[in-house]
Structure 1
Amino acid sequence: MGNVSDLPRKALSRTAKLASLPLGAAGRATVGLGKRIGGAPAETVMAEFQRRTADQLFSVLGELKGGAMKFGQMLSLMESAMPEELAAPYRAALTKLQDSAPPMPASTVDTILSRELGKRWRDRFEEFDDLPAAAASIGQVHHGILKDGREVAVKLQYPGAAEALRADLKQLGRFARTFGALVPGVEMKPLVAELQERIGEELDYDREAQAQQQYADAFKGHPEFVVPRVIKHSPTVIVSEWIEGKPLSGVMTSGTKTERDEIGLKYVRFMFSGPKLAGLLHSDPHPGNFRVMPDGRLGVVDFGLCARLPDGLPPAIGRLLRISLTGDGVAVRDGLRAEGFIKPRMDIDPDQLIDYLAPFAEPARAETFQFSRAWMREQANRTGDFRSPNASLALKINLPPSYLLIHRVWIGGIAVLSQLEAEAPFRATLEEFLPGFAEED
């Protein structure tokens, strides 16, 4: 892994690689213009440009791990909001970012586990696979079998993960606007800002282990969900029960309609039941954190980012969602102002507010709702077009700190459901788990 004197050189190398993304896109665009002048069809040139950009995006972000990899994982959530002709070349490359990355050498794994579990750590295992079963942004997971026969997942943090995260996100912040050329239709600055805000939480494996065990206790024996129990943990290592299942991304690409509908409903039920049953909201909704178990249950991993909600979700969310369905924009505006979403002297048109909130409210309007990529793109166009009144309204809406992770889960969850093309009775889940939504609340 090198020594401390290597750090400046490695930092410069990471900076250069990140800089290559927007520069590479600009270069390919210039070549594409040359081909157009030379007579190549526009469709052919654009398809080639997008394919090469997607390949470079995965290659660089995947190689760098850290903040770059985490950024890529968030982008993979939002591709359903992009126009289809732009999204298609990115889809396969970005899906890879959800649960894969180049692994650490076995010698580094041994060094970390010797430090955290003791020099004779291998004596605790009947078997330990030196090749990781999964590798992602700030850590990787190995499969093992303890002496008592229990199968376990050993999650360990990459050396220098904290430094890499902070350096990458600082660099990505500088390039945020230029990255718009790589993934059209997605606002980069807010994505990077939120990642920077949550660095400390995601790096603290003791905090993550506590959240995971809290979930495991709350969902023990649950008929729909599986959360692996924690066996041992330290600031950079978590040993927990092993769960086997098909990645949610696999259901997106090859699942039947019935499978996608069923798992989409379970996904929503898990997200909304967490605050009520565990006092926590799993706040990293990307598909790499979910597995479809052989018995049909939804397995959940990676609890590095959780909102602490000991009293459950704020009742104001459900109440205002219910009121918005009636079209009472004045009541919704006043309620949002009371919660801090609208500044006291900010003037907002009530009817425009109802239109702006439609993507959040529409899935709750009918007993059953069909999510789709086409619907997601339509909502993104409604709120993202700078010529639309919704765009100017968005600038007037404030997001209180206590709602940041709730908003992230809501938006990310809608994106996942749109990628699943899931159709299910989601309203019933809101009535069961979202305080204030049911009339009698």
Structure 2
Amino acid sequence: MSEIPRKAVQRTAKLASLPIGVAGRVVGGWGKRLAGRSSEEVNAEVSAKTAEQVFAVLGQLKGGAMKFGQALSVFEAAVPDELAEPYREALTKLQTAAPPMPARTTHRVLAEQLGSGWVKRFAEFDDDPAASASIGQVHRAVWHDGRDVAVKVQYPGADEALQADLKQLLRFSRVLQAIMPGAEVKPLLEELRDRYLEELDYRTEAGNQRVFAKAFDGDEHVLVPRVVASSPKVMVTEWTDGTPLSHVIRSGEREERDLAGRLLAEFHFSAPSRSGLLHADPHPGNFMLGADGRLRVLDFGAVARLPDGLPPTLGLMTRLALDGRSRDLLELLRSEHFIRPGTELAEQDVLNYLGPFVEPLRAETFHFTRKWLQKQAERVGDLRSPDSQTGRSLNLPPQYLLIHRVTLGATGILCQLDANVPTHAIVARWQPGFAD
């Protein structure tokens, strides 16, 4: 058996262990209930152990499994603290770490992509990877003209691994649902699958990054590294340093947290208007805070193409919810197909459901916390809750799915940062349809 199929089999076996492990814990939980322990205590233990196994498995993998783990990591802030604590560190590792490939393999890919004389294109090349990603790893080097560069090299067989892993993960969406309260996992997985398959050709990512770099050239708040060279499986960009947001989340001072949160929110809402693109891979491993106070943005493989900026419908919807205009809000949702034909909803129920989501816009500055996000997740995830019933009656049109997922992901990072952010002013400036 060749190396790539063997690894694919190993990945499949690890992923297959997830539902088996969950089943065993559920059966064990029944036994503990019979032994007199409360259902709440047992359910908390089962959920914690499920999460621990999921992230332990995802942490060993590359390809689609790791990519999903990275996307999942931003939802950690929505998980109750007593469940999140056992695997919070595993989530952080998913954002930046994966096992490295041997130097000889790296050299082979570079020769295939840049030509047999690839060494001459660099003044220096460090064989030890500086960072790893889901489908490739990054090496620090010096380009032939003296520029410090980052060289992203795709893992051989990453395309097969990505497709196989995403296919397996779609089968396990119910298992993963257990650790993402308030979120629909299967549509998220399907959308991630479509987006991540686009990332396999680094030339596409390079094109996206060039657009962002041009749009933010000279910006006082955001730095996007310029692209130096690209091929299908190798991309060379200018090197940039900074403190990863995962470090700020773990041990940052208040000033650092608030600055990172403000810059991230500004980038998220302004990018579509400035570049016609939305950065669609929001997790802390893709952002750094530079010594100059600017946000460094990395990894442009996944984007949403929004040539006209963010849809005005979202701004108007937010404004109506903020102003409590329940009848107008219901009519807008119905006309824009957020409510399926034939579905009856009371206008006040819709306002009650959406109102708390716009709470960050009610004051000049909002304090994003895990507790706030946990409250929202519990509110919409509890099947007994009226808000949950309303949410299940609403529909998210396909053209808004990616924007919704990215906004939710960015919000998750803000809550992990515990940041105070002038959200109202940022949204008022950059979100069409919201104007005060």
State whether TM-score is above 0.5.
yes
Runs of 5+ in structure 2 lacking a partner? none
Runs of 5+ in structure 1 lacking a partner? none
Report sequence identity in percent.
Answer: 55
Mean alpha-carbon deviation: is it higher for 243-252 or for 330-339?
Answer: 330-339
User: What's the counterpart of residue 86 of structure 2?
Assistant: 89
Q: Does residue 391 of structure 2 align to residue 391 of structure 1? A: no
Q: Name the CA shift for 1:228/1:92 in 2 (closer, same or farther; >3 Å).
A: same
Q: Does residue 99 of structure 2 align to residue 117 of structure 1? A: no
- Of 156, 163, 167, 1:170 maps to 167
- Of 118, 122, 143, 2:140 maps to 143
**CA deviations over 1:15-57 (Å, ceiling 9, x no partner):** 2111112323444566677789999999999998777655543
Distance 1:390 1:51 in 2: 25
User: What's the counterpart of residue 12 of structure 1?
Assistant: 9
Distance 2:432 2:203 in 1: 30
**CA deviations over 1:155-211 (Å, ceiling 9, x no partner):** 122222121111111111212213345666654323322222223322231111111
Distance 1:37 1:394 in 2: 35
Distance 2:356 2:304 in 1: 23
User: What's the counterpart of residue 269 of structure 2?
Assistant: 272
- Of 43, 62, 82, 1:65 maps to 62
Could you say what secondary structure the match of 1:270 adopts? helix
User: What's the counterpart of residue 293 of structure 2?
Assistant: 296
Shift in Å, 1:92: 0.9
Shift in Å, 1:339: 2.2
How does 1:214-293 map onto structure 2 within 5 Å?
214-293=211-290
**Are the counterparts in 2 of residues 50 and 90 from structure 1 also a CA contact under 8 Å?**
no
User: What's the counterpart of residue 313 of structure 1?
Assistant: 310
**CA deviations over 1:249-299 (Å, ceiling 9, x no partner):** 110111111211111011000111101111111111111110111111100
Q: Name the CA shift for 1:435/1:374 in 2 (closer, same or farther; >3 Å).
A: same
Distance 2:431 2:181 in 1: 34
Distance 2:133 2:186 in 1: 22
Q: Does residue 354 of structure 2 align to residue 357 of structure 1? A: yes
**CA deviations over 1:47-91 (Å, ceiling 9, x no partner):** 987776555434421222111101111221111111111011121
Distance 1:324 1:56 in 2: 39
Distance 1:249 1:42 in 2: 34
Distance 1:334 1:54 in 2: 40
**Are the counterparts in 2 of residues 82 and 186 from structure 1 also a CA contact under 8 Å?**
no
Q: Name the CA shift for 1:85/1:429 in 2 (closer, same or farther; >3 Å).
A: same
Distance 2:11 2:214 in 1: 41
Mean alpha-carbon deviation: is it higher for 249-258 or for 396-405?
Answer: 396-405
Q: Name the CA shift for 1:179/1:401 in 2 (closer, same or farther; >3 Å).
A: closer
**Are the counterparts in 2 of residues 114 and 120 from structure 1 also a CA contact under 8 Å?**
yes
Distance 2:168 2:102 in 1: 26
Q: Which amino acid aligns with 2:435?
A: A
**CA deviations over 1:334-360 (Å, ceiling 9, x no partner):** 112222222343222111111111243
The normalised TM-score by structure 2 is 0.93
Distance 1:35 1:394 in 2: 34
**Are the counterparts in 2 of residues 99 and 135 from structure 1 also a CA contact under 8 Å?**
yes
Distance 2:46 2:124 in 1: 46
Q: Name the CA shift for 1:330/1:50 in 2 (closer, same or farther; >3 Å).
A: closer
CA RMSD of aligned residues (A): 2.5
Q: Does residue 193 of structure 2 align to residue 196 of structure 1? A: yes
The normalised TM-score by structure 1 is 0.92
